[in-house]
Amino acid sequence: MLKLATLTLVLGVAFSASTWAADDVKLVPSSVSYKISMISAQNSQVQDVEGGMVDTSAITCDGYKVSQQMILRIIPRQGGRAAVINSAGTMLEGLDGLSFRYSQKTTVNGRLTESTSGAAALTGVGQGGQARIAGKPEPVELPAGTLFPVAMTNRMLQAAVAGQTRVETRLFDGTTSTPNGLSAIIATLTKPQDLTVPADKVGLAVGSLVWPVATAYYAEDGSAAPYMENRIILMPNGSAETMYMDIDGIKLRLDLAEYKKLPVPECPAVGRH
């Protein structure tokens, strides 16, 4: 299962660049669609990959709901039938960042190839907890410092706003059966005119800045080399304007096609993490 759900949480920031403070970062709901194209492929049997992805986030009075659907069409070099991969999933995370539920299904040419679901909880902020994964009788221990996807995105945004250049944490997002190490390098600020889409199209104010971010995922088995690496252009609304991914030797580019800010519910009290 791809880590796109974690990488592309479509969350916005409710402050302009001129008034940001690291503690002021707040997430608001939005919907973002991307066009997917292939850069290169080590597999000589792959001619091309094309497709699209839609991420939709919502905030309820109880938590964050992030849903995603990605469709990839893999075209073989020697002709024949293209493989159509359809991956769809939903994540629910508490406003306090202490609870998490997820489900994901993937089909290839209409045939179910993967299905996973589970739930996890932390005993407190910065503390450990447990995850229970469908089909596994024993719970998975989550070490202290583990973050769920929205909390991780929030941490990365706060680090960028504060001028930090590196984020090191543990992430549990359900894409693997154990938490993973995550290392993110946040590069020098880039002006929004360097974006491939107009700033006003993605809800950015004049004077907003963006951050190139390189992310590496490490298995908990102590492996020195990351098992997956990504690069994104992180916008101040929390979305990725452009993403570069390497999946099993196939290098893909995801370009933002449409951005839509969604309404925020009126709740008695809004939690944060």
Q: Where are the domains of the chain?
A: 4-261
CB atoms within 10 A of CB 119: 16
Q: Express each pLDDT in 103-127 by its tens digit.
A: 999 999 999 999 999 999 999 999 9
**Span 199-227, mean pLDDT?**
75
Q: Which two tokens stand for residue 218?
A: 């490490």
Query: Taking the model in full, what pTM does it have?
Result: 0.80
Phi, psi of 18 (to 5 degrees): -75, -15
pLDDT interval class at 210 (50, 70, 90): confident
pLDDT interval class at 21 (50, 70, 90): very low
| Residue closest to 36 by CA, chosen among 108, 107, 105, 87 | 87
Count CA atoms closer than 13 A to 124's CA, side-chain side. Answer: 1
Residues with Cβ within 8 Å of 256's Cβ and at least 6 positions away in sequence, in order, are 32, 33, 34, 196, 197, 202, 239, 240, 241, 242
What letter would DSSP give residue 210? B
Q: Give the model's pLDDT for residue 49.
A: 94
CA distance 205 to 17: 8
Residue type at 144 in one-letter notation: A
Residue reference for tokens 């994901």 = 104
Count CA atoms closer than 13 A to 62's CA, side-chain side. Answer: 5
**Has residue 90 got a pLDDT over 80?**
yes
Q: What is the mean pLDDT of the chain?
A: 81
